Amino acid sequence: MTFAYTDADITRITGLIGQSDNFLNQPDITTDFKELEKMKWKQIAYELHAETLGEYVKIKRIPHGLRSNLRPTMFSKNEQFCQKWEAILNKCSIDLMVAIIEETQRITQSVAKCCREGKSKMTAHLQDFRMEVQARKRHKFQRDATDYEEGTRNDYGSNMRRYPQGPRNKPMEPRKPRASSAASDSQDISLSFLGDTSEGAANITKDKQPREYKRCRMRY
């Protein structure tokens, strides 16, 4: 016999789970930063475009993108008509620039509002991050201060004293000079006798004196 949850059981059980703030669907700070950066770029681009077009309008010039190349097919030989035609086209280009500036200003205001809201949100997030780091650093600092006050710190010197790192090689002792054969013999004799060691040593020295040799005259 197999067991399986029914759809009604699944809906009932999962429905008991409370969702307080729906944190799974909230964007993280990285997404907010990218969105703020994008909005800031748009604001800068719109502001510079409006400023540039405003200068064109002030000096009565038309940029390449807004110049009209329409030519009259009728009365093209009439100079007065052609001048009127050109004036109308230039006025149209100027009005188009003014219209673009007006719309850009409207959009820039809304974009600036979004940037202010995003910047305020990011400032609050960074402030929360600062408070979190400060609390963690303060806890560690107070913990270390308590260790020093109670004498329970575990620094490098105490570690070296408590945990020696392996046996150290003992320094080599200086080599003792070897005794002469006569001294060694006298030492052995003194150890083997219970009498006066000085008398025994004198006798040994007397016995070991070099023998005198007489030169013999050679015969031829």
Q: Is residue 1 part of a domain?
A: no
Q: State the pLDDT at residue 88.
A: 92
What are phi and psi for residue 157, nearest 5 degrees? -65, -45
- Residue 41 is part of which domain span? 27-152
Residue 118 lies in a domain: yes
Single pTM value for the model: 0.46
Q: Decide if 8 is inside a domain.
A: no
* Per-residue model confidence as pLDDT tens for the chain (220 residues): 688 889 998 888 888 887 666 666 766 667 777 888 888 888 899 999 999 999 999 998 899 888 888 888 888 888 899 999 999 999 999 999 999 999 999 988 888 888 888 888 888 888 888 898 999 999 999 988 888 888 887 666 555 555 555 555 555 665 655 555 554 554 554 444 444 445 544 554 555 555 555 555 555 4
Joined together, the tokens standing for residue 51 give: 């400023």
State how far the Cα of 99 lies from the Cα of 107, in Å rounded to an integer.
12
**Residue 160: inside a domain, yes or no?**
no
Torsion angle (degrees, nearest 10) of CA 94, 97, 98, 99: 120
| Domain assignment of residue 176, yes or no | no
Separation between Cα atoms, residue 40 and residue 118, nearest integer Å: 10
Residue 197 within any structural domain of the chain: no
| Residue 95 belongs to a domain | yes
Count of structural domains, the chain: 1
Question: Domain for residue 81, yes or no?
Answer: yes
Query: Using an 8 Å Cβ cutoff, are 112 and 43 in contact?
Result: yes
